[in-house]
Chain A
Amino acid sequence: MPNTFTLIEAKTLTTSSASVVFSNIPSSYTDLKILYTGKTTDTAAQGTAMTYNAGASSVAGKYIIGDGSNPSTGNLGYMYVGSAFGTNGTANVFSATEIYIPNYTSSQVKSYICVNAAEAQSSTSYSNVIVGRDTGITAPLTSITLFSTSGNWITNCTFYLYGIKSS
């Protein structure tokens, strides 16, 4: 079982960006973990997404989402990684997201698990649990892209990539 946890890179955005890419990910770990806090320039809450190796993804998986009154579940149509509020959210409140990607250097399909909480303190909040996999990529992961499905990430969003391996 991997038991070390190393920060590979961290970035706080200083300019608004449509996407954030972790590129040239070293292959020296067994698993990856991403933590990020997100908020967008859109006027509404939006889904956020991830792609591997800068390529189109072919996705399978499930999500459970709760918005405080209407919990629902469904199949993934893309690599959904939760919700983020835009300008409709509370100022300076960001969504919190954690993504775990095991065996990212394997030649198998790459799965992920994700937990996300998007909270606007004066409005609806969203909670997500997602389990998915990209069935189209069996090459080792060398880059991961994170983006909002509408709008850009705003300044002060934070992105962390950790590597995990056996000591």
Chain B
Amino acid sequence: MAEALMVTEINCTTGEVIERPFTAEEISQREADLAVVAAEKAEREAEIARIEALKTSARTKLVAGEPLTPEEAATIVL
């Protein structure tokens, strides 16, 4: 059985600190939050891979004396 997700809640009006399991609503919210995080991470990694591929292609074409596409040229720092 999976360990229960715990939350530490600090009540800023009363000063009371409660350590308790997540409510069902909080679990749903956490799943939604982590899905957004995973989507953002996948998008960022895809963008990094795309730029790396452009750089590799640009280097290969430069060595071979072939023309670069505008996107490939944009990866070169002058």
Binding site for B on A (CB under 8 A): 8-9, 11, 13-26, 47, 49, 51, 54-57, 72, 74, 76-78, 147, 149, 152-153, 159, 161
Q: Which residues of A contact B13 (CB under 8 A)?
A: 24-26
Question: Do the beta carbons of B17 and A21 come within 8 Å of each other?
Answer: no
A18 CA to B27 CA, complexed, in Å: 11
Binding site for A on B (CB under 8 A): 5-15, 17, 19, 22, 26, 29-30, 32-34, 36-37, 39-41, 43-44, 47-48
Inter-chain contact total with CB atoms closer than 8 Å: 86
A sample of 12 inter-chain contacts (CB < 8 A) reads A9-B12, A11-B10, A16-B6, A19-B7, A21-B7, A24-B11, A49-B37, A51-B33, A54-B29, A77-B36, A78-B37, A149-B37
Cβ B29 vs Cβ A55 within 8 A: yes
Contacts of B9 in A (CB 8 A): 20-21, 23
Is the CB–CB distance between B33 and A8 below 8 Å? no
- Tell me whether A25 and B12 are in contact (CB under 8 A): yes
A-side contacts of B19, CB under 8 Å: 14-15, 17
Question: Which residues of the partner chain A approach B44 to less than 8 Å between Cβ atoms?
Answer: 74, 77
- Tell me if B12 and A17 are in contact (CB < 8 A): no
Shortest distance between the CB of B77 and any CB in chain A (Å): 13
A14 to B18: give the CA distance in the assembly, Å: 11
Residues in chain B near residue A49, CB distance under 8 A: 33, 37
The reply to whether A19 and B30 form a contact with Cβ atoms under 8 Å apart is yes
Among B8, B9, B26, B32, the one with the most A-chain Cβ atoms within 10 Å of its Cβ is: B8
Q: Please measure, in the bound complex, the distance between the C-alpha atom of A159 and the C-alpha atom of B9, giving whole angstroms.
A: 11
* Assembled-state Cα–Cα distance A11/B15 (Å): 10
Report whether B11 and A18 are in contact in the complex, using a CB–CB cutoff of 8 Å: no
B37 and A17 form a contact (CB under 8 A): no
Contact A18 B10 (CB under 8 A): no
Knowing A24-B11, A26-B13, A77-B43, the reply to whether A18 touches B29 (Cβ < 8 A) is no
- Partner pick for A24 among B7, B8, B14, B41, CB 8 A cutoff: B14
If A77-B43, A78-B40 touch, whether A11 touches B17 (CB-CB below 8 Å) is: yes
